[in-house]
Structure 1
Amino acid sequence: MAAESTPEPGTPGRTGTTKERDRAGHRSGRRKALLAAAWTVVGIVVLGGSGVGYLYFRLNGNLRSIDINSLLGHDRPEDVDNGSQDFLVLGSDSRSEGNGKLGGGLDDGTARADTAMIVHVYEGRRRAGVVSVPRDTLVDRPACTGADGRTHPAATDAMFNSAFTAGGAACAVKTVESLTGIRMDHYIEIDFAGFEELVDELGGVRITTTEDIDDPDSHLDLQAGEHTLDGAQSLGLVRTRHSVGDGSDLGRIQLQQAFVKALVDRVGDIGLLSSPKQLYDLASTATSAVTTDSELGSVRALASFADGLKGLDSARMTMVTMPVRIDPAAPNRLLVAEDRAEQVWAALRADRAVPASATEGTAQGTADGVVGSGRTHAE
């Protein structure tokens, strides 16, 4: 009698992974990619999978890192040693270093976390859960110390992305840890200019839209159908909100999650590249675009981190949005749906799949299904 298969974490509502399902998953996602929790992973893939070890030291000078552990000290959630890993990925709208022309940031030159994803890699590194945090969510922001050494006071009912504006990466991580009770093992940030260059270096990302998208603010004009988006168009897609669905931050998150799935498919093609120059150019762009915590602050450390995620592909990623509800006092703001959100965080702390009940009945955007991967099973 065949042994009964056991459920794998990260897949709510499924009874387990059988050999038959594995074969089906292999057919639909046979070009494996590293985890594409967000835009930064495009660069990590190159370092982890391209065999450019002799370039490590030449690329090290491109990286920027922040000593998150030193800034946050010991007042943090317990570092649970259960084989899982958690990290925060931010997309920044800083106007520095070329981002100003892209329309992000604030008038005073400070930056916001335009996109935030909490990534939980389950024990065994075969599955990952990704939780998007809406930037318009009102949270209690804890006091924190920024990279400049300044202490930033706590704030009540502050927009989530104000933590990054106030004190940068350390304050963003502190806020996420306070919100979730989960210690972040790593931090990865990419800015808009770097994102645009990365997509262009990849040769674009293929997506399919089910309806027209026309957003002058994001410089995006797409008719329904298949498209290969260049860097500028991809940036417009992940930033657009007013021209799709209900125009909410939640709708934009749905677009971002769909784009990440398409990006995973595109990143899977990196292994087919044969030009050393193409690989080096992509690695150079990637390392220039990202900011990490100091533990990932070398190309060798970043490559080792990525190498441990090679078993992941888009079919093994579960993506949800943090449970929220509309603020009755301000319809363009969101409040954390505390009980449902705690179900999400408790599951991740225990290295379990997020239960489907955690997000049922919570506020959602109306852009789901507008964008999907352009890849077909026949390819």
Structure 2
Amino acid sequence: MTGHLAGHEESGDAGRPRGRRSTVLKIAGLTLAGLLVLAAGAAGLAYWHLDSNIKSVDIDQALGDDRPAKGVTTPSSSASASASPLPTGSLNILVLGSDSRSGKENKALGGGSSSGARSDTAMVVHIDAGRKKATIVSIPRDTLVTRPSCPLKSGGSTAVAYNAMFNSAYSVGGPVCAVKTVESITNVRMDHYIEIDFAGFAKLVNALGGVTVTTDEDIDDDDSHLHLKAGTHHLTGKQALALARTRHGIGDGSDLGRIGLQQKLVKALLEQMASTNLLTDPAKLYEVAQAVTSSLTTDTGLDSISELVGLGRSLESLSSDSVKTVTMPVVTAPSDPNRVVAKEPAASELWESLK
């Protein structure tokens, strides 16, 4: 597990993210790029149907006031008097990829049942004030953390858990506990929550006609059912999902290698979106919008098409060149060579830079 020692940060900057020409990670790319797609062509019954697809959780009500302070959100001074002003303040969004949805589709893709939910991918998407720059911080799911007591929908709360796997928060308490755990370890307020599931991701790739990805090494992973030779491949939705999930067939088998593949996959997926002229093909546009919305769970502040499109419009000046990607600095856990813990003070300095 030596690959855990440095994470994706190298010496010299105390864990702060470095600029590089990159696009966002898997889930952030799918949702934030997909939001702008939804703005065109959705009207009448189609608009209502897409709107009703989105599931939501009232994070604010569940967690109350015992949370990090909110950032300041200010309207854009350039907004016209007749238009609703767009917010320009900084924003933090917890984005999860999960196998939480039960059903035949997810089970066929390797998803969990209603009693075995997990968060396979976790990222904090930080958008700077002005909304022209962003930082995407990936949190390895193997990270050992102190999981705080979380409220349960059925009443009561979970017990505090020490040296718990980071992704266990979602398993025991769903989105609410995932948000509370991230806020506990980062001391950064999560303004929004977005979750996408296995089947929705695969459907989106299929709706776009697949995605072309070049791999640098052979991938031979029985767990994700993916077997690819190094080279260029045009992947179906099921294969693309397997690529995003694979870990045992590459590198040292850690979550860090998988994160690199996810970056490559999303760049290819966004290029596929750009090459598919959705705005001139209403049927294809609706198919893509249906795939995105039917796979989403959000907080109540983003649970409608209008709110999602408003977020997308506020990000129109954000280009991929202005997005930094970084993994939370980690080291091998002293208690378990197969787990990691936050590398201090680098991790705390990283989170502080996002406030």
Same fold judged by TM-score > 0.5? Answer: yes
2:70 counterpart of 1:63: no
What displacement does 1:132 show?
A: 0.4
Identify the residue that residue 52 of structure 1 maps to in structure 2. 42
Identify the residue that residue 361 of structure 1 maps to in structure 2. none
Q: CA RMSD in A?
A: 2.5
2:27/2:196 contact within 8 Å kept: no
Q: Distance in 1 between matches of 2:183 and 2:229?
A: 41
**Aligned residue among 68, 91, 98 for 1:77:** 68
Q: AA paired with 1:118?
A: V
Identify the residue that residue 199 of structure 1 maps to in structure 2. 205
- Which whole-Å deviations, capped at 9, do the CAs of 1:198-232 have from their partners, x for residues lacking one? 11111122211112212222121222222222111
What displacement does 1:53 show?
A: 4.1
Q: Distance in 2 between matches of 1:38 and 1:165?
A: 24
Unaligned runs of 5+ in 1: 1-9, 15-24, 350-379
**Aligned residue among 122, 133, 140 for 1:116:** 122
1:190/1:290 contact within 8 Å kept: yes
Q: AA paired with 2:145?
A: V
Identify the residue that residue 248 of structure 1 maps to in structure 2. 254
**Aligned residue among 315, 320, 332 for 1:326:** 332
Q: AA paired with 1:131?
A: V
Q: Mark the CA change 1:267 to 1:13 in structure 2 (over 3 Å): closer, same or farther.
A: closer
2:89 counterpart of 1:99: no
Q: Mark the CA change 1:302 to 1:13 in structure 2 (over 3 Å): closer, same or farther.
A: closer
2:331/2:343 contact within 8 Å kept: yes
How do residues 346-365 of structure 1 correspond to structure 2 at under 5 angstroms?
346-349=352-355
1:265/1:314 contact within 8 Å kept: no
**Aligned residue among 12, 28, 50 for 1:37:** 28
Q: AA paired with 1:57?
A: W
Identify the residue that residue 181 of structure 1 maps to in structure 2. 187
Q: Alignment partner of 1:217: what SS? A: coil
Q: Alignment partner of 1:218: what SS? A: coil
What displacement does 1:125 show?
A: 1.5
What displacement does 1:105 show?
A: 2.6
Please, what TM-score do these two structures have when normalized by structure 1? 0.79
1:36/1:264 contact within 8 Å kept: no
Q: Distance in 1 between matches of 2:273 and 2:119?
A: 24
Q: Distance in 2 between matches of 1:311 and 1:269?
A: 20
Identify the residue that residue 214 of structure 2 maps to in structure 1. 208
Q: Mark the CA change 1:213 to 1:12 in structure 2 (over 3 Å): closer, same or farther.
A: closer
How do residues 232-247 of structure 1 correspond to structure 2 at under 5 angstroms?
232-247=238-253
2:316 counterpart of 1:279: no
What displacement does 1:42 show?
A: 5.0
Q: Distance in 1 between matches of 2:154 and 2:127?
A: 31
**Aligned residue among 266, 273, 276 for 2:272:** 266
2:124/2:137 contact within 8 Å kept: yes
Q: Mark the CA change 1:243 to 1:194 in structure 2 (over 3 Å): closer, same or farther.
A: same
Q: Alignment partner of 2:28: what SS? A: coil
Q: Distance in 2 between matches of 1:205 and 1:147?
A: 39
**Aligned residue among 129, 142, 167 for 1:161:** 167
- Which whole-Å deviations, capped at 9, do the CAs of 1:335-379 have from their partners, x for residues lacking one? 111310011111111xxxxxxxxxxxxxxxxxxxxxxxxxxxxxx
Q: Mark the CA change 1:271 to 1:317 in structure 2 (over 3 Å): closer, same or farther.
A: farther
Q: Distance in 2 between matches of 1:47 and 1:150?
A: 38
Identify the residue that residue 93 of structure 2 maps to in structure 1. 87
- Which whole-Å deviations, capped at 9, do the CAs of 1:76-132 have from their partners, x for residues lacking one? 0000216111000001122503311222336x7320111001000112222210000
Q: AA paired with 1:332?
A: N
Q: Alignment partner of 1:258: what SS? A: helix
